[in-house]
Every structure is written in C-alpha cells, then in structure tokens.
A and B are shown apart, each in its own frame.
Chain A
Amino acid sequence: MFQLKIKLLSLKRLLAGVILSACCSAPLFAADDYLSALELEANDTGAGSQPVAATVRSPLKKAKPARAGKVIAGGLSFNEFEETLDSSYSGSNFLYIKLSKSKRKSVHKFYQNDNRISSVREEIVRLLSSGQ
C-alpha cells in the first residue's frame, strides 16, 4: 500500500513536470522554430501555375508611368492593324512601311502589349534605326 502511494506520488510529480514544461514552452515560439516553420510553409506554398502579368524586360532606361493617352483601337489583327495605321496614322505608317515583314510583325506584337500610338511610333523608329 505504501509502495503504491510512493508510485502515485512520483507519477503526479512527473505529470506536473510535464505540464509545467509544456506551459512554459508553449507561448514561446523560438526563433529557430519560426525559421523551420517558415521553411516548411515555403515548400507548401508553391508558385503553382498562376500566370503572371506580362513583363517587359529591356535595357534600363528612365522609368516613367504610362497614362491613358492617344491609342490605337485594341485587339486588332495584323491586317486590321496595318489598315488602321494606313488610314489613321499616316505619319507613323510612312515609317512603318519601310520595315521588313518580320519587323512589321514585331511591331504588331509590341502593339498588343502597348497600344499607345506614341509607343508604337517609338518602336517603329527604334526598329528603323536598328538598321534592319
């Protein structure tokens, strides 16, 4: 009977110790734990197949915000784009028709990302001055 009491007492002490240590450690989220939790979560949060918005990467030039301005109608096919240039933007078209077919296609591709006439004109001039 006495041995049983001793065993019960030691069991209680052990239990108290476990509870006490758990209470002390629970509120503290050690820096190392935080870092390992971050790493685990980073693996779990994949980049997935989320499409990213179109990015334009080019040699650095002064960044400037783009505001809505004079623009060519959006969503034109290559032929429609050429017709629009011819009918409405004769100045730009004068330079545009000097480009090779492949460069014209490239201008059309550029227009799909940025349809401001000023930008399209700049692209035409850039391609012309690149000597191709």
Chain B
Amino acid sequence: MKRFITKLSMVALLASAGFLLNSNVVALDVKLTDYLAYLEVDHNGEQVRIQRIQDTANILQDGFAKTSRKCPPFCIQPMQVAPGVATVGEAEIFRFMERELEDGTGIIVDARTPSWYKKGTIPGSVNIPFTGFVGEVDASETVKVLQQLGGVHRGEVSWLTRSFEKLMASLGLFGADQKTDSWDFSDAREVVFWCNGPWCGQSPRAINGLLSYGYPPEKLFYYRGGMQMWKVLGLTVVVPETADAVAMK
C-alpha cells in the first residue's frame, strides 16, 4: 500500500512538473485566438506581425479609453449597417487577412479621414476616407475609388443590353445583378470597412455610399468594433510614416 502511495505521489509530481513546463513553453501567453498565436500581413510592402500586447496588466490609456463623445455626430451605430452587409468581428478579420487579403480578392479599408489615419491604423488596411464614397457615381474621385475596389467602368451600354441584364438579374442568372448602368462589379473585391468603433459613422457612410453605386452588398463587410475594439484587445497598430502618401494608393 505504502509503495502504491509512493508511486502515486511520483506520478502526481511528474504530472505537475509537466504542467509547469508546458505552461512555460508557449511564447505568446496572449494569443489572438485559441488556434492562432499571431498573424503576419503585408502592409505597404512590409510584413507586419499582428499580435496582442503581452503585458496582462496593461490598461488602455490613450484617447480610445474615452467613454463619451457628443451625439450627434458620434452616435452609437446599429449592429447591421445595411441590408445584406455582414457585420464582422476580430476573428473574422484574421481569417479575411489569411485568405482574401492574402490572395488579393479582398481589401480592408480604413474609412477614416487622414487626421485619424495618421494616428495609427490596422495593419493591412488601405486608407480610403469615407468622403471618397459620397460623390456622384461618375465623378473622377468616385471612379478612381471604385476601380481600386475592382469595379469596371462600363461606358455606354445599350438600352436592349440593360433590359436583358435587368431581366436576368431578377431571375438571378449570369451574375447580372452585379452590373449597373455604368459599372460592372462582377470581379469587384470583397471589402471590409472599419473606422473608430461603434460610435463612429465614417465606415457606415462609406458602405451606404458604395451601396448607392450598386456595389453588391454580399461583398461588403462592416467591422463595427473598429479601432476602439482593436486597441482594447491590445492588437498591433501601425503608424503610417506619411498619411497622404499612403492614402488612396
């Protein structure tokens, strides 16, 4: 019996030693998700690692710790910004970075004005301020932005063609619902829009502007948490060297 207890103690000792050893082997104690320690994305030609601040005692101290801003204009946004546009969280952003951003079929847009952007942005994002999505559909600024997102400007389309397309669109055939009078969004990229957080209206404005141009809603995603949640989670932020140089690239 005594021998059995001794053996049992030895096993327990080994198990606890193993546990201690195991708890020490993971480099990052604060991982992104349970399966992902960190992520690397291309940001303006450089590889940037996205990870969380490892100091578990860290507390947010910058302007994003602020609780109250005047409403209007800084009002709390709804969870669903527009019909057909999915709202996403950080885990979905990571997956988007791994897949769509990596293979070029997707783009992450920081829809804030340059004065916000230059304070820091989410790695892998491109700055296209929401003001670029509020002009006329054929304005040069709008054309530039829509082309950047993969839209193709159609020019003159005959009445007959458009009537046929509208008919096909109503039947859900030939991807005709991806076309408007002046734009073809068949090969347009999937876009994640974000701004300062749940109290920020810049990305909702950009999304609604883009929808008004006929951009397919299923290709749009709204990261409602934005910079606020990104910072609360201690995720990596990059500060652009020159905001103007990076914006609109």
Contact = CB atoms under 8 A, between A and B. Distances in A.
A57 B113 contact: no
A66 B37 contact: yes
Interface in B12-52: 21, 24-27, 31, 35-42, 45-52
A60 B62 contact: no
Contacts of B25: 71-74, 115
Given A47-B63, A71-B25, A73-B25, A42 B237 contact: no
B165 to A, nearest CB: 33
Nearest to A74: B27
Given A33-B73, A39-B113, A39-B115, A56 B24 contact: no
Nearest to B34: A68
A66 B120 CA distance: 24
Interface string B168-204: 0000000000000000000000000000100001100
Nearest to B196: A45
Interface in A61-76: 61, 63-68, 71-75
Interface stretch (B64-72, B85-93, B139-147, B210-218): B64-72
Category for how many chain B residues contact A:
35 or more
Given A42-B113, A46-B63, A67 B36 contact: yes
Category for how many chain A residues contact B:
35 or more
Contacts of A48: 61-63
Interface of B: 21, 24-27, 31, 35-42, 45-55, 58, 60-64, 66, 69-70, 72-74, 98, 102, 113, 115-116, 119-120, 123, 131, 134, 196, 201-202, 231, 234-239
A120 B248 CA distance: 38
Given A53-B51, A56-B40, A66-B37, A38 B98 contact: no
Contact of A67 (B37, B46, B69): B37
8 contacts: A38-B116, A45-B62, A45-B119, A45-B196, A55-B236, A55-B238, A60-B47, A71-B25
A114 interface: yes
Given A60-B45, A116-B27, A49 B236 contact: no
A29 B64 contact: no
